[in-house]
Copies of this chain bind each other. A is one copy, B any other.
Amino acid sequence: MAHLERRPGCVLDYAFNPSSVAVVGASDQPFSFGYHFLRHLLDYGFKGPIYPVNPQKQSLQGVKAYKSLSDVPGDVDLVICCVPTGRVLPLLEECPSKNVKVMHLFTARLSETGRPQALELERTIQNRARELGIRIIGPNCMGIYSPSSGIAFGYGFPRETGNIGVIFQSGGSATTLIQNGMLQGLRFSKVISYGNAFDIDESDIFEYLAGDPNTKVIAAYIEGVKDGQKLMRSLKKAAALKPVVAIKGGRGKAGTRAVMSHTAALAGSLDLWHTAFNQAGVIEAGDIDEMINLLVLFNCLPPIRGGRIGVMGGGGGKNVISADVAEEAGLSLPPFSDDMRRKLREMVPDLWDWVGNPVDFSIWGDSFMKVREIPGLFIESPEFDFLVIQVSDDNPMADDWWVNIIKMEVENIVSYAKQGRKPIVAIMSTAKAGYSDLENVRWKTIAEQRPILVDARIPVFENMAEAAGALNKYIHYWERR
């Protein structure tokens, strides 16, 4: 057991790195959460004692089961509570005798239903937990994903750890972030879905991840907050130490209603949220896809403090549109300097006066192999902060030639990125190909080449709009620091 990470007095250490876990309401019904949470501990290799609690079972999923929490031998750091609302209070009473430090209250249908009785029960649970000294994550949440400890709340999460810490009020959206993000190379240090947050709240978790040495970047999804001053303090502290990318859930009328019935949160004034994020230096994202794009940049690139880009690859139309979109997003494409023109003149005597930034690869004709040197030209020139290289998927060749061009260009991007002399971002469109579309060698090639870029830690985007939107926020972040 990795006790090393535990810092005294910090209850979240017990949640992310417990010595022992009990799943109360554990089950062998594969559609129930009492089944899922137990199975995840087994699947992800939690190394301490696992105690399934179910009054009707001798064993569950091959693990000895206990009739009640009190029957469990030894102490329990973390209780994952999957029983219905009516059985939470009696369970709480059992916790002190087992030295329970923290309970993940997966149990839902409390204040978020908007029903007075459920709200009252939630308040009673909250008060009793406080009296007993049991700290609560939730209720109404998916809880903990801590890959280094072997705890998870979803199937197919990465087993290896990473450097992104995640504070999400929604477990489903955290799942999307983890599962879609892993395809783009993202890995996670500690993830928490915290739901209605009547005890441990977003501010506590920001404080905690701010001090966590394994977390380099923080991603947060917040629907509402009870103590704005406290959040502001912890946001400022966290954002001063590491990049924080946040989504505010419940920005409009319908979203505000949805937030009430999702986590019983009061969405609050949007202006206030924008001001708070801006003052703290938090980077705002509109949705999970934008958040993933931003996290990919923090994961792959060094700080960039300027928006002057060299753009290259693909034909004329692709370059014109990409230049337009990049400029509209706030980036700039400086023209070639005299020095670059001089170098170009040596490289391609028949093209040097015609080529510009963006560099259209389709006009190179017999000199096509020379396009491999173009990134180097931009890298050597101090007029550019970084490069955006588009794969020439619009080239008009027959399949075999087309495939070779794509592979050559991807190889070239990887080779320049490895030199690490200037940040490089790639653009290559998967075009949402369906499974049957991959029988076509072109879509198969794109689908095969994409992970090569991801594995080389090169950010790769569908189009310039996606790339430039994320890059503009990324640069703005570093320019402010």
Contact = CB atoms under 8 A, between A and B. Distances in A.
Contacts of A326: 252, 254
Number of this chain's copies in the assembly equals 2
Contacts of A247: 321
Interface in A458-474: 462-465
Interface residues of A, number: 110
Given A287-B325, A432-B184, A333 B254 contact: yes
A70 interface: no
A317 B221 contact: yes
Interface string A420-447: 0000000001111111111010111001
Nearest to A443: B183
A363 B170 CA distance: 13
A318 B180 CA distance: 14
A289 interface: yes
A54 to B, nearest CB: 19
Interface stretch (A91-99, A130-138, A238-246, A389-397): A389-397
Contacts of A328: 251-252, 286
Given A183-B431, A250-B324, A402-B155, A316 B286 contact: no
Nearest to A252: B327
Contacts of A90: none
B435 A396 contact: no
Interface string A63-75: 0000000000000
Interface of A: 30-31, 33, 36, 39, 108-109, 112-115, 142, 153-156, 168-176, 179-180, 183-184, 221, 223, 247, 249-255, 257-259, 261-263, 286-290, 311, 314-328, 332-333, 335, 353-358, 360, 362-363, 393-399, 401-402, 429-438, 440, 442-444, 447-448, 450-451, 454, 462-465
Nearest to A33: B396
Contact of A431 (B180, B221, B332): B180
B324 A252 contact: yes
A287 B321 contact: yes
Contacts of A448: 434-436
